[in-house]
């Protein structure tokens, strides 16, 4: 690949990473509010639903953070490829 194509691909990954970070911040804020609302657990059906949503939200948060980690690895790999391309 040419270095310009690699730079464009890195920029695309950076934009994707920014968007995922936005999702993580919003999801974490929602989970914090949900966590506060289930602090007074009274064994009602709505409380069980809140707990299930909280668990699903934590799983989603973990999934998004894992995808950010894999994107960071891809960016690092592309930066290494650019270095090899320049040193040719």
pLDDT digits (tens, 9 = 90+) for 1-10: 587 888 899 9
pLDDT of res. 1: 58
Q: Token digits for 48? A: 């069980």
Question: Domain ranges in the chain?
Answer: 3-86
Residues 3, 83 contacting (CB under 8 angstroms): no
pLDDT at 12 over 80: yes
Q: What is the pTM of this model?
A: 0.79
Instruction: Give backbone dihedrals phi and psi of 40, rounded to 5 degrees, phi first.
Output: -100, 70
Over its C-alpha atoms, the chain yields an Rg (Å, rounded) of 20
Beta-carbon contacts of 67 under 8 Å, excluding residues fewer than 6 positions away, are 20
pLDDT digits (tens, 9 = 90+) for 14-61: 999 999 999 999 999 999 998 888 888 788 888 888 899 999 999 999
Beta-carbon contacts of 6 under 8 Å, excluding residues fewer than 6 positions away, are 78, 81, 82, 85
């Amino acid at each position: 690949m040419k270095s310009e194509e690699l730079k464009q691909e890195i920029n695309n990954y950076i934009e994707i990473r920014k968007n995922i970070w936005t999702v993580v911040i919003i999801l974490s804020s929602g989970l914090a509010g949900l966590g506060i609302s289930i602090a007074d657990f009274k064994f009602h059906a709505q409380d069980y639903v809140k707990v299930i949503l909280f668990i699903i939200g934590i799983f989603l948060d973990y999934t998004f953070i894992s995808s950010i980690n894999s994107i960071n690895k891809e960016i690092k790999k592309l930066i290494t490829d650019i270095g090899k391309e320049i040193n040719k």
